[in-house]
Amino acid sequence: MREGETFDFLVVGAGSAGSVLASRLTEDGTTTVGVIEFGGTDAGPLIQMPAALSYPMNLPFYDWGFQTEPEPHLGGRRLVCPRGKVIGGSSSINGMVYVRGHARDFDTWEEMGARGWGFRNVLPYFKRAETSHGGEDGWRGTDGPLHVTRGPLDNPLHHAFMEAGAEAGYGLTEDYNGSRQEGFGRMEMTIWKGRRWSAANAYLKPALGRKNLELMTRTFAHRIVFEDGRAVGVEVENGGGRRIIRARREVILAASAINSPRLLMLSGIGDGEHLQAHGISTRAHRPGVGQNLQDHLELYLQMTCLKPVSLYSKLNWVSKALIGARWMFSGDGIGASNQFESCAFVRSAAGVDYPDIQYHFLPVAIRYDGKLPVKAHGFQAHVGPMRSKSRGRVALTGPTLKDPPSILFNYMSHDDDWSDFRTCIRLTREIFDQPAFAPYRGEELTPGADKTSNEELDAYISEAVESAYHPCGTCRIGDADDKWTVVDPECRVVGVDGLRVIDSSIFPQITNGNLNGPTIMVGEKGADLVLGRTPLAAANAEPWINPDWAMAQR
């Protein structure tokens, strides 16, 4: 094996967390950092134009192409699990929705053993990451690399959705990423000046001009290299030849909730019996590697629209060409928005102290893959529970990273998941039945107004529920004495030296909402841990909790 370059730090993955690490670890000029990325460039309108969001996650050039094992509680369906194979990682192929999560999420992390990761500890890192355009004073960042904006709300259906929420008795929130998440309001997006503002655009590209940072694209990481129990490099392949790239100080995995546990297992860190079955010698027996896999599921409740105000008229090829041309020449118009411009976070029942249901509203009836249920004007709400009790796992199918992973989310394996989704459907129907939607409300397309019983709704859920593409949890952070912990609160892999994991795989429990925001926060805080810096001063901000939460659902 020939020797390659040597860096102080070696980061595997140029995605959401990896891009942050590349920037923060090199900004003072005292350390050298190498970043290994199997994907390539993010240039071109399919990634950079926000309205084209459905394309890159379905293209093998940008996506790893993972899919689940047959899910036993969903009739054996295989669901896709897109992960970015491009600089920026999944932030370059996602829906660009920005959600921090609720304060209680991170306090729960700390209760689960992630000391120093409570909300008071992570809020300063959220603020450091972002430049918020329209967020709540004192709660939002004002000079960070990540621009967070709001859509123009030009479509009247967005206003109808927020007004319907108020009419149904829910509150409104001016900033769900501020003090109050609960309620209906405007959705935030990682878009800046009409372009997708991925982690690559925000962090990685500005840092690439530094002499102490090297990005190695189209480079495949095979395994972590150890000497005397310490990670000292990564065996990679580029252009057909293999070499070892070395790290003087540390190797850091930021390769996603799917690939980070795979690399650990292929390097001998995981459940010893599982490793032995694939001919891999056990370096550190950590049965939690690959376990604790979590995700958000959602379904679409779709309606026909009685007025021709939805985006349906823009879905023909002539309109798409005109939208694309306007975006190319002026950077604005419909092409400059992901169209997710209104949303809600609500509680499912009295006794639930903070939101456990999320809504994305879209002024067209369409799937992520571009399929239309009918050729007509429509609108839809994406809705799903936030804290499923189901847990799955990522496992190996062979002794190399080129063997596809075995991914089993074990979706809907807990009885509460079914009742939670039925609640989601019924609450959504109530919202669409409000006066604000009266001028627009046609027939219910999905699941169909005739489906009302638990049995009918369960059958629809089983056939229609889809992933929201939020995998996490497979290298969970926690107390080093817990056998299911993979990384300690410093993000160091338990049982070996010189190795950390810093990405969404460390989440002990999934957060409320989309995961790109908290993954970027993990990169920000993780960079300080790697460099041994004093953490940013804890915040004393108190989140808004509905004073009637114990007695009322809204």
pLDDT on residue 369:
66
Secondary structure letter of residue 472 according to DSSP: B
- The 10s digit of each residue's pLDDT in 35-47 is 999 999 999 999 9
Q: DSSP letter string over 263-302?
A: HHHHTTEE-HHHHHHTT---SEE-TTTTEEEB--EEEEEE
Q: How many CA atoms lie within 13 A of 27 on its CB side?
A: 14
Domain residue limits, the chain: 152-186+297-385+412-464
Number of H helices, E strands in the chain: 13, 26
| Strands (DSSP E) found in 96-211 | 130-132, 146-150, 183-186, 188-189, 191-192, 195-196
Residues annotated as catalytic (active site), given as ranges: 470
pLDDT on residue 324:
94
Burial category of 482 from C-beta neighbours within 10 Å (exposed 0-12, middle 13-18, buried 19 and up): middle
What six digits make up the tokens of 360? 């994305």
pLDDT on residue 239:
83
Going by the annotation, the residues of the binding site are 86, 94-97
At residue 179, φ and ψ (nearest 5 deg) are -70, -30
392 strand-pairing partners: 293
What six digits make up the tokens of 152? 């123009």
Whole-angstrom distance, CA of residue 54 vs CA of residue 94: 8
pLDDT on residue 4:
76
Whole-angstrom distance, CA of residue 160 vs CA of residue 275: 54
Enumerate residues 6+ apart whose C-beta is below 8 A from 150.
Answer: 133, 134, 186, 187, 188, 189, 341
Whole-angstrom distance, CA of residue 409 vs CA of residue 471: 9
pLDDT on residue 1:
59
| Fold annotation for 152-186+297-385+412-464 | Cholesterol Oxidase; domain 2 (3.30.410)
Dihedral sign of CA atoms 530, 245, 289, 66 in order:
positive
| Strands (DSSP E) found in 386-475 | 392-395, 406-408, 441-446, 466-467
Dihedral sign of CA atoms 340, 184, 147, 201 in order:
negative
pLDDT on residue 549:
98
60 CA to centre of own chain: 19
pLDDT on residue 372:
66
Q: Which residues of the chain have pLDDT under 50?
A: none
Q: Are strands 220-227 and 213-216 parallel, antiparallel or unpaired?
A: unpaired
- The 10s digit of each residue's pLDDT in 285-331 is 999 999 999 999 999 999 999 999 999 999 999 999 999 999 999 99
Task: Give the number of other CB atoms < 10 A from CB of residue 252.
Answer: 31
Residue type present at position 442: G
pLDDT on residue 443:
96
Q: How many CA atoms lie within 13 A of 1 on its CB side?
A: 15
pTM for the model: 0.97
Secondary structure letter of residue 35 according to DSSP: E
Tell me the three state secondary structure of residue 319.
helix
